Chains A and B, each alone.
Chain A
Amino acid sequence: MNSGERDTNKKDQLDEFFRNKPEWDRASFQAIESAIRSDLKPVRRLSGISLFALLFILAALAIVAAGACFLASHGWNALTPAARLSVFTVLALSAVLLAFALAQQMVPGSRVYWTTGFLFSIVSALILAICAAIFHIEANPHFLRSGLICLGVGTSFAIPAAILFATIAGRGVVLSRERAWPLGGMLAGLVGMTVLEIHCPILDLRHIAAWHFGIPLAGALTGYLFARQRAPE
């Protein structure tokens, strides 16, 4: 017997196995039908994923704009024009990727382009790469103190961003909290990081990598932990 025949035999074997499918018990049909028909009314269909991604981005921009208004723009002023373009382009691109991925989580059965882990890796790599290219290690005698201040400031903008995103996402149905909440957390954290890049004048690479970038990471982790803790409805 050659390998072609062997493969055919294997295929026939499995196909015959799967032909014996379990039969449906129609006993529950009446109960299902009457429960649904008793509550049958037209619904307003959900808008497209692109629209929700846009809403997430607009919400993020609104929070960042509020941060720019309320806080001084020391960070923005400390950067060269080229550095501003590079840093904020990468932050914007990362936000767009996360916003689209989060919008997809609102609709069951959406197309899968990347896994959540791969997306996090891409976003993290992009941000860290641009930080390494733009910023350098500088003297920072108050590393911990300045870091905690930045952490507080960034988080105070990330939290309202997270609330806004959750409100927008509530229009859809998030089936996988373990995927959606870390995405939302990271996006909210990115909002906080963007506010810090505008406000914080410290250009020390270690400070930015640990305390500014730490906010999206903390947001993703917080989202994941909350998702794991939350009991199913």
Chain B
Amino acid sequence: MLRYQEGGEWETTFLIERLSPELFRFFMAQQATRGEANDLLQDTWLRIHRVRHTYRAGAPLLPWVFAIARRVRIDAFRKRSRISRNEIVPDRLPERAGNEGKTGSTVPDIYQLMAVLPESQREVVTLLKINGLTLQEISRATGLTVGAVKQKASRAYATLREKLRAEGYGQ
């Protein structure tokens, strides 16, 4: 990241390759379509590039990156909400990608199950279980206290277990 701030080309490419999958998964788990997730990913990288001077040496990178990604997603959602008030919604919305290629899997689709969670809980669980951040890192990325992060995660797990049980998985 420091070399990226200094204009290093190879380091920039490495950073994009390394972080993009995690960012993409984050957006997909927040109920974005593939197209939306790609757009959000591009917007996030443009914003990361614009504000790269704010990353401080020695600070954890993931909270910094995901704090920016969160904001991009929130801003896009609000903008879309304003625009959609004046648009006609099609009867058939774009399909969200499921776990293609995992035929025969007994595990339910990650998006469908995460959809039952409130937005803030879904975000915490995504960062925790999909992106692998620690509680402290999530606290930094979201602006919540560590206690609040733990509480949201705990409630989300309870909801997801209940949903899995209701759908007959893992009995």
Contacts and interface: CB of A to CB of B under 8 A. Distances in A.
Interface residues of A, number: 50
B152 interface: no
Contacts of A29: 16-17, 20
B54 A33 contact: no
A197 B111 CA distance: 57
Interface stretch (A92-100, A171-179, A184-192): A171-179
B115 interface: no
A40 B46 contact: no
A177 to B, nearest CB: 10
Pick from A39, A106, A108, A115 the residue with the most CB of B within 10 Å: A108
B54 A24 contact: no
B100 to A, nearest CB: 8
A110 interface: yes
A28 B97 contact: no
B24 A17 contact: no
A31 interface: yes
B144 A108 contact: no
Given A24-B24, A25-B34, A25-B38, A48 B56 contact: yes
A45 B107 CA distance: 45
B54 A27 contact: no
A5 interface: no
A181 to B, nearest CB: 14
A13 interface: yes
Contacts of A21: 25, 110, 130
Contact of B60 (A36, A40, A109, A175): A109
B73 to A, nearest CB: 11
Contact of B51 (A24, A40, A108): A108
24 contacts: A9-B170, A12-B170, A13-B169, A14-B161, A14-B164, A17-B169, A18-B130, A22-B24, A22-B28, A22-B29, A22-B99, A32-B16, A36-B16, A37-B9, A37-B13, A42-B5, A107-B54, A108-B64, A109-B66, A112-B139, A115-B144, A173-B54, A179-B143, A232-B74
Given A27-B38, A45-B53, 9 more contacts: A13-B164, A14-B164, A28-B41, A35-B42, A40-B12, A41-B7, A109-B59, A109-B67, A112-B140
